[in-house]
Amino acid sequence: MSDVCAEQYCLRPVKGKGLVCVPCQKGMPALTNPKSPYAQGKPKGSATTGKTATTRKPKSQIKPQQPQKTQKTPTVTVTEKQQKQAVKEIFTCYWYGWENGIPPIFKDIFSKFGTFISDRATPSTMIGTPDTHRSSINIAGNKSFILVKEAIYPMEGEAAAFRAINKSPIMLEALQDVTPTDAIEMVKNDGQTYTFQKDSTDGSQYRYEDGQGVERKIPRWAIA
């Protein structure tokens, strides 16, 4: 007569006392039905033995991990208006080490976005109000005149630049007693070197002689 599987509650026959049947060794459920043609005797731990029956816990099964889905990077669309605004900010910044704080190559790099003009004023470096001062004209000393120098005068001509100055209360105030005619000469002679003579007691206005020998007046802020 064969012996019964040593696994608790299993009724499968084995060839030797204390052995465990092959199905139980592989983790399969124990054979507990005594009416099964494969059963041998009664299960250990049943009511006839007086032992308390316990439920056999099945072996845990490890579920294969599902591959994580790759998150798609959202596409960010930058409009033409946003691009132009970004370029404008670049021209507004002061780039140290470059003349007037802006690298000249920027005009070529960003030419497809249009013409950008920095409205950053370059103050005069003249110390005090000397009676005589040798320097150059600096139209960028007032940001209102930068637009006249960089856009209106070269693109629309002298007459348009004169009208722009003559109709602008802000520019007329900046000129004080300097006439729009002399202001146009300032624009035309920007960067040229002259000898300036103080023309007002408070030093807010100077005079100089242009290339044609005509005496012109100029505000102090327009002297480099």
pLDDT of 50 > 50? The answer is no
- Residue 160 structure tokens: 């348009």
pLDDT of 82 > 80? The answer is no
**Sheet bearing 132-136, strands edge to edge:** 132-136, 193-198, 205-209, 215-219
Q: What per-residue confidence (pLDDT) applies to 114?
A: 65
pLDDT of 162 > 90? The answer is yes
Q: What per-residue confidence (pLDDT) applies to 190?
A: 93
Residue 219: strand pairing partners: 205
pLDDT of 161 > 90? The answer is yes
Quote the CA–CA distance of 105 and 183 in Å, as a whole number. 29
Q: What per-residue confidence (pLDDT) applies to 133?
A: 95
- Burial label for 165, CB within 10 Å (0-12, 13-18, 19+), is buried
Q: Which residue has tokens 């845990």?
A: 60
Q: What per-residue confidence (pLDDT) applies to 206?
A: 96
Q: Which of 16-20, 39-43, 71-75, 136-140 has the lowest mean pLDDT?
A: 39-43
Helix (H) or strand (E) holding 153: helix 153-156
pLDDT of 144 > 60? The answer is yes
The proportion of the chain whose per-residue pLDDT surpasses 70, expressed as a percent, equals: 74
Query: Phi and psi for 109 in degrees, rounded to 5?
Result: -65, -40
Q: What per-residue confidence (pLDDT) applies to 63?
A: 66
- Residue 173 structure tokens: 């105030």
Quote the CA–CA distance of 148 and 21 in Å, as a whole number. 102
pLDDT of 215 > 90? The answer is yes
Helix (H) or strand (E) holding 164: helix 158-166
pLDDT range class, residue 99, cuts 50, 70, 90: low
Whole-structure pTM over 0.85, yes or no? Answer: no
What Å distances lie between residue 136 and 52, 58, 203, CA to CA?
A: 110, 96, 17
Report for 26-30, 46-50, 85-89: range of highest mean pLDDT: 26-30
pLDDT tens digits for range 165-212: 999 999 999 999 999 999 999 999 999 999 999 999 999 999 999 999
Q: What per-residue confidence (pLDDT) applies to 47?
A: 42
